[in-house]
Amino acid sequence: MSGNGNAAATALARIQTDSVVATLKALYPGLQFEIIAMSTTGDKILDTALSKIGEKSLFTKELEHALEKNEVDLVVHSLKDLPTVLPPGFTIGAICKRENPHDAVVFHPKFVGKTLETLPEKSVVGTSSLRRAAQLQRKFSHLEFRSIRGNLNTRLRKLDEQQEFSAIILAAAGLQRMGWHNRVGQGALGVEVRAKDQDILDLVGVLHDPETLLRCIAERAFLRHLEGGCSVPVAVHTTMKDGQLYLTGGVWSLDGSDSIQDTMQATIHVPAQHEDGPEDDPQLVGITARNIPRGPQLAAQNLGISLANLLLSKGAKNILDVARQLNDAH
């Protein structure tokens, strides 16, 4: 088993991997699990914004090479790091129960007690996400937003010890997994495996959380249909209530001045975890869930595609094309 992250970046990756291993050990007490820490391109390139690197598999390529060569049997990722189209031969064999999917603002010690709204004019806020920057620029036009890279420890150290940033935006789930609740991809963990390795698929399939799985299928279908990634500001969020799956999505211009957002819903039955699923090749948006019925999975995928088409009909393609062009030009 592998968790991505070099020596400086392993803390969160190791915590996430340990949580999956602990669950598997409880389910399979007779099996032994060896954890191998590995580095990825995304871990090594820390002086360039993610949107500028131009590599779709920043946090997965090296790990997939190890899977392909049978050096490891499964890899634990933050689901947000996995492209919506995986390379041939790989699949997401498990999606664990989602934690807090929200973003969190962490302030420089001298601004504790402030909000983004009350930060001084021209205060600099750090984020590694174009989506976060565009959304916040639209709402807080008095602030400046700059790229900040590195693992959680590095980014918090830059915030606390340097004077460049008044605040930074981080994923709340990462802070909570590290035990830093007092300072608060996006919340869900995915386990990537070889697509044809039935033994490993069966092993990790029990980790699927049905509700999180269906929500993530809808979200990934939306992103895939819009070709969303690190180079464009695209956001999507789901909630499940009373048998209804609500999907909200949006696209933004780089400066946040233009946006299109909408919400759709569908009636989707959340099945029991071990109901029989499809017998054939069941991948949907890179996810394999043979122990979950196909009907709810297809309904979730269709919801994501429908919302993407709705936004495209309202002009989302033009906003995204311009955003890509401007991002490539800078």
Active site residues: 81
Tokens of residue 61, six digits: 């390529």
Bridge partners (DSSP) of residue 106 are: 168
Say which residues have a Cβ less than 8 Å from residue 210's Cβ, sequence separation at least 6: 270, 271, 272, 273, 292, 296
Cβ–Cβ under 8 Å, residues 232 and 323 = yes
| Sign of the alpha-carbon dihedral angle for 48, 41, 154, 176 | positive
Q: Give the DSSP per-residue string, 136-190.
A: HHHH-TTSEEEE--S-HHHHHHHHHH-SS-SEEEEEHHHHHHTT-GGG---S-EE
Cβ–Cβ under 8 Å, residues 106 and 82 = no
Say which residues have a Cβ less than 8 Å from residue 318's Cβ, sequence separation at least 6: none
Helices (H) and strands (E) counted in the chain, each on its own, are 11, 12
164 burial level (CB within 10 Å; 0-12, 13-18, 19+): exposed
